Amino acid sequence: MSTPGAVRVYLRDWAWFRQVVTAVGLASIVQPLMFLLGVGLGIGELVDSGGNTDLLDGEPYFAFYSSALLATTAMFVLGGEALWPTLDGFQWSKANYSMIATPLTPTDVMLGKALHFLVRGLVAVSGTGLVLLMFDDTRTWGVIPGVLAGVLCGMAFAMPLAALTATRDEDNLFPAIMRFGITPMFLFGGAFYPIAQLPTWLQPIAWITPLWHGIELARGSVLGGLEPLMALVHIGVLSAFVLGGLLWANRTFARRLLL
């Protein structure tokens, strides 16, 4: 029986990822745990002792913040994965060129990468999900859809960024993407406080970032209270980023590989 081309491509990434998956899995638990213990509990104590959590819809700050980590983790991990490790296949190891010398096509290569992002994202976000289950405030079945929401959010970053990476010969743009794209979203995307706290002119900017939709979806899943219509909007926006990224990457991968 024939194995789909994308899976055959992915097997190479897996051969590598398999060697480090235990370490990566452990790190995926330890890192959010540190964030939660530091920011969640520390700032949470400060916020909650003010006695007024109306702005957080009555949720304790810890639950408010920790549920957003499902989306921010995915953004950081898959955003990074779509940059340097993706450029490697074009520029350093040139593995992508080896692949297209076989019956595989640039589309297979691109979809194989997408598969890798999916697995990588699941490992990372599941780690965060496990940490949420350790605490009373966030121990709910909603963590499961929350993890899926996080992975969807991560893919919404990974696919467009991978498409961009396929057009680059060097990694000189990547630090700027992290510094001026990813980090500001982390700060202004509603992870630490509701975006209603932002100046009014800044709020629409948050609405068009995939991170805000990812956070709202993940948070709503974990804490409940997600309106079905809004859930559809969030899923729709994130899916549009994923789909747009897939189509764009399909073009840039082919253009790069078939000279």
Contacts to another protein by CB under 8 A: 2-3, 8-9, 11-12, 15-16, 19, 93-95, 97-105, 257-259
- Here the tokens at position 85 are 């490790």
Q: Which is nearer to another protein, 3 or 200 (CB)?
A: 3
Fill in the amino acid letter for 151.
V
Q: Which is nearer to another protein, 3 or 49 (CB)?
A: 3
Q: C-alpha distances in angstroms, 72 versus 83, 125, 172, 192, 202?
A: 17, 9, 24, 11, 19
Query: Can you say how many angstroms the Cα of residue 223 is from the centroid of all Cα atoms in its chain?
Result: 19
At its nearest, how many Å lie between another protein and the CB of residue 60?
A: 45
At its nearest, how many Å lie between another protein and the CB of residue 21?
A: 14
Q: Which is nearer to another protein, 61 or 90 (CB)?
A: 90
Torsion of CA 76, 81, 85, 87, to 10 degrees: -100
Give dist(CA 90, CA 99) in Å, integer. 11
Q: Which is nearer to another protein, 1 or 208 (CB)?
A: 1
At its nearest, how many Å lie between another protein and the CB of residue 102?
A: 4
At its nearest, how many Å lie between another protein and the CB of residue 114?
A: 17
Beta strands in 11-116 (DSSP E): none
Q: Which is nearer to another protein, 86 or 105 (CB)?
A: 105
> Is 103 exposed, middle or buried (CB count within 10 Å of its CB: 0-12, 13-18, 19+)?
exposed
At its nearest, how many Å lie between another protein and the CB of residue 141?
A: 37
